[in-house]
Structure 1
Amino acid sequence: MSNSNSVTLEAGVAASKNDLGLIICKSCNHVIASLPTDGYKKFYVVCQSCAREATN
């Protein structure tokens, strides 16, 4: 039985069956990535496009 972890950033989320953690942009609510966690967890960050808008 193999356990491979895959994270795809910005373009889409490639989640394996045990990826219950989500990284979500706190500005636009875009799902940036998924993470293997031991339970459902949400992490909020600012995505690259929202960070660029904030600096302009």
Structure 2
Amino acid sequence: MKKLVLAAALTAAASTAFAGAPADPVIEAPVIVEEANSSSGGIILPLLILIAVAAAVSD
């Protein structure tokens, strides 16, 4: 009889330990920040260099 009570107690303890599935972790998507470049951003620097070279050659 003691073995039956012990088996019932262990079964009850084991069933509560595995009563539910663990919740899936919530993973947030990384935030990607991009700087906005204007279309003329790539042409200004070469134009300034060209003007500086033209000013240096003209002297």
Place the TM-score, normalised by the shorter chain, in its bin: under 0.3
Q: Which has the higher contact order (CA 8 A, sep 6+)?
A: 1
TM-score by length of 1: 0.26
TM-score by length of 2: 0.25
Please state which structure has a larger fraction of its residues in helix: 2
Please state which structure has a larger fraction of its residues in strand: 1
